């Protein structure tokens, strides 16, 4: 993942770790919550995991993974509500901010990092906070997720507004860092969304919109990087893709705003323009060069048979709305 894309997506200032607390110091209610988490229960089908052959393990995991898409499918109404809320906020100048810890936080960082190259958006539009900051992207940061105060602090630094949407990602549903961020978002009247694998947990009570795919106990008990993590990736894919498609960052099902940062993507851009316009690749290459590598402008040139200057005027007149520019 390029470092320039990662810059600004997470909270590099989080360098100190909260003081470790002994397990015996944790309140009894915390242990009761753990007992209630579906993700902490044992999967009967994998009790003999350490005695299985390689093919038996991967076959079992594949069978369990089939439950993920079904679980996410049941959450489509909630996911669609979240998409509408994010689109509404962004049209008023708001942002999408993911907040998470550990594997959940890394899912948020990954999705935020992919938006600029895929949709040509500013890194400020979709951002991510991860407990522990930059170091937590590639390694575990001891105790980072246990501080609700740090969640609030990191989100406060983003200068949150009522037009922003904060998506708290917590498979367990109890991560203090995420809970602290969501509580702060509530105070600032920002829309809150929870993505979790445990519905009846604190994170669900703090969010306006709750997305809770039920995927069942993990093959490796408590390892939520597995099915829970896969469900998170699917949900975040849906959120960012649907939001930015609704905001006009795709044409038909083509990445019309993608960043041309390498040879592979430059070749893809030519194929996209040729496919969308019905012209030869050589014509697409000429138009893209004349348009200064602006794919929107190049497509208007190709489909309307006009020069770069006229295409630029058409796009400016409709505030960049590609379909309107092509119809004008």
For residue 52, pLDDT over 80 is answered with yes
Burial status of residue 273 (CB atoms within 10 A of its CB: 0-12, 13-18, 19 or more): buried
- In the annotation, is 263 catalytic? no
274, two tokens:
């040729």
Rounded distance between C-alpha atoms, residue 231 and residue 46, angstroms: 20
Of 151, 92, 90, the closest CA to residue 124 belongs to 90
Q: Give the confidence band of 142 by pLDDT, cuts at 50, 70, 90.
A: confident
How crowded is residue 66: how many other Cβ atoms within 10 Å of its Cβ? 10
- 3-class SS of residue 103: helix
Average pLDDT over residues 119-132: 97
Cα 137 from chain centre: 15
For residue 38, pLDDT over 90 is answered with no
Instruction: Please tell me the predicted confidence (pLDDT) of residue 20.
Output: 45
Instruction: Please tell me the predicted confidence (pLDDT) of residue 328.
Output: 72
Of 204, 241, 264, the closest CA to residue 33 belongs to 204
Instruction: Please tell me the predicted confidence (pLDDT) of residue 9.
Output: 53
Rounded distance between C-alpha atoms, residue 78 and residue 75, angstroms: 5
Average pLDDT over residues 281-307: 96
Domain 263-327: assigned CATH number: 1.10.8.1080
- 3-class SS of residue 160: coil
Contact residues for 176 (Cβ-Cβ < 8 A; gap 6+): 145, 146, 147, 148, 151
Identified catalytic residue from 64, 75, 145, 152? 145
Contact residues for 232 (Cβ-Cβ < 8 A; gap 6+): 103, 104, 107, 169, 171, 195
Considering the entire predicted model, what is its pTM?
A: 0.88
Rounded distance between C-alpha atoms, residue 68 and residue 74, angstroms: 10
pLDDT tens digit sequence for 76-112:
999 999 999 999 999 999 999 999 999 999 999 999 9
- In the annotation, is 267 catalytic? no
Domain made up of 3-246: CATH architecture: 3-Layer(aba) Sandwich (3.40)
Domain ranges of the chain: 3-246, 263-327
Identified catalytic residue from 40, 114, 285, 310? 114
pLDDT tens digit sequence for 207-257:
999 999 999 999 999 999 999 999 999 999 999 999 999 999 999 999 999
For residue 188, pLDDT over 60 is answered with yes
Q: Give the confidence band of 37 by pLDDT, cuts at 50, 70, 90.
A: confident
What does the mean pLDDT of the chain come to?
A: 91
What proportion of the chain, given as a percentage, has pLDDT over 70? 89
């Amino acid at each position: 993942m390029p470092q320039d894309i990662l810059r600004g997506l997470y909270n590099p200032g989080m360098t100190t770790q909260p003081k470790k607390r002994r397990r015996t110091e944790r309140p009894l209610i915390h242990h009761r919550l753990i007992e209630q988490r579906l993700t902490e229960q044992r999967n009967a089908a994998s009790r003999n995991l350490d005695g299985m052959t390689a093919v038996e393990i991967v076959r079992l995991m594949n069978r369990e993974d089939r439950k993920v898409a079904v679980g996410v499918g049941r959450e489509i109404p909630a996911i669609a509500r979240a998409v509408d809320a994010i689109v509404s906020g962004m049209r008023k100048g708001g942002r999408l901010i993911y907040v998470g810890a550990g594997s959940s936080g890394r899912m948020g960082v990954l999705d935020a990092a992919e938006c600029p190259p895929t949709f040509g958006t500013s890194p400020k539009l979709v951002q991510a906070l991860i407990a522990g900051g930059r170091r937590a992207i590639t390694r575990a940061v001891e105790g980072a997720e246990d501080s609700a105060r740090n969640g609030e602090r990191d989100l406060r630094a983003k200068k949150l507004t009522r037009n922003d949407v904060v998506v708290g990602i917590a498979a367990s549903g109890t991560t203090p860092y995420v809970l602290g961020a969501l509580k702060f978002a509530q105070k600032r009247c920002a829309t809150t969304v929870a993505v979790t694998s445990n519905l009846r947990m604190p994170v669900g009570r703090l969010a306006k919109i709750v997305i809770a795919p039920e995927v069942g106990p993990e093959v490796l008990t408590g390892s939520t990087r597995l099915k829970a993590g896969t469900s998170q990736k699917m949900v975040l894919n849906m959120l960012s893709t649907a939001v930015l498609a609704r905001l006009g960052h795709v044409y038909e099902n083509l990445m019309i705003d993608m960043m041309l940062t390498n040879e592979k993507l430059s070749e893809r851009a030519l194929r996209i323009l040729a496919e969308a316009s019905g012209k030869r690749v050589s014509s697409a290459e000429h138009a893209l060069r004349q348009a200064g590598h602006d794919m929107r402008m190049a497509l208007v040139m190709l489909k309307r048979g006009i020069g770069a200057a006229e295409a630029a005027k058409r796009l400016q007149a409709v505030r960049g709305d590609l379909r309107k520019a092509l119809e004008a």
